[in-house]
Amino acid sequence: MKNLILILIALLLLGCRDSNKADDGFHAVLPPETQTGANTFGVTINGKVYVPRDPTGVNVGTTAKGMIFWGAPDNVSWNEIEIKDGASAVGFQMIIHLQNLQSIGVAQYTLKQSNFHNGIDSIPDNHIYFKIWDNNINNYAYYGSVENQGIINITKFNGSLTQNWILSGNFSGKFVRYDNPNDFITISDGRFDLNLNTLPNHPFP
């Protein structure tokens, strides 16, 4: 009987370890919503907070930084914020695609149906997509914005190459799974505050 109890306890512990595969001891905290160029990003997805972390071995994208700001050659037609957690057990990646980011000050962009591509392969409109770990399939699951069911609020953009070139905002919306049109995730608290001059060298431990 004693051996049976020990076996049951061992199986229970193994099951818990497997179900918490994405938990490696790092617990992110949602940063405050600021407009100071603090180089912060945060979002809560399915009750878990995600923040950028520089890669230390997890391949969740080609970027070698926790967060980077991309731009089209003309720096007008499109820009993207790429966020990744490359240091946690399974990682995370999000692309925020901004089309025609020209408004100085504040602006609001309606999210369109994502095609799950970035850069020149993206749709020519504003959208967001991301991938998170799904323990049910032991792999990543992809989610993208739904047509006209989300927004990106630009709360500050000074559009200048000065020392404090700040892009701040927040986002929310409904996101659908790439391979399951009946699986939705709602995000209500996404936020970012970037200093585009210092971001390339900013560490995300």
**Mean pLDDT score, 109-124:** 96
Comparing 138 with 160, the larger pLDDT belongs to: 138
pLDDT of 169 reads 97
| 74-85 confidence digits (pLDDT tens) | 556 899 999 999
pLDDT of 61 reads 59
Cα 144 from chain centroid?
Answer: 11
Rounded to whole angstroms, the Cα distance separating 97 from 92 reads 17
**Mean pLDDT score, 3-30:** 50
pLDDT of 4 reads 38
Q: Please enumerate in sequence order all residues whose Cβ is within 8 A of that of 110, keeping only pairs 6 or more positions apart, or say none.
A: 126, 148, 150, 151
**Mean pLDDT score, 32-46:** 97
**pLDDT above 50 for 10:** no
**Mean pLDDT score, 181-203:** 96
**Mean pLDDT score, 46-59:** 86
pLDDT band at 7 (very low <50, low <70, confident <90, very high): very low
Q: Are 108 and 134 in contact (CB under 8 A)?
A: no
**pLDDT above 80 for 119:** yes
pLDDT of 29 reads 95
Comparing 113 with 76, the larger pLDDT belongs to: 113
Q: Are 154 and 167 in contact (CB under 8 A)?
A: yes
Comparing 182 with 120, the larger pLDDT belongs to: 182
Rounded to whole angstroms, the Cα distance separating 43 from 34 reads 14
**Mean pLDDT score, 10-24:** 40
pLDDT of 93 reads 96
pLDDT of 24 reads 60
Domain boundaries, the chain: 32-201
pLDDT of 64 reads 73
Average predicted confidence (pLDDT) for the chain: 85
pLDDT band at 26 (very low <50, low <70, confident <90, very high): confident
**pLDDT above 60 for 51:** yes
pLDDT of 203 reads 95
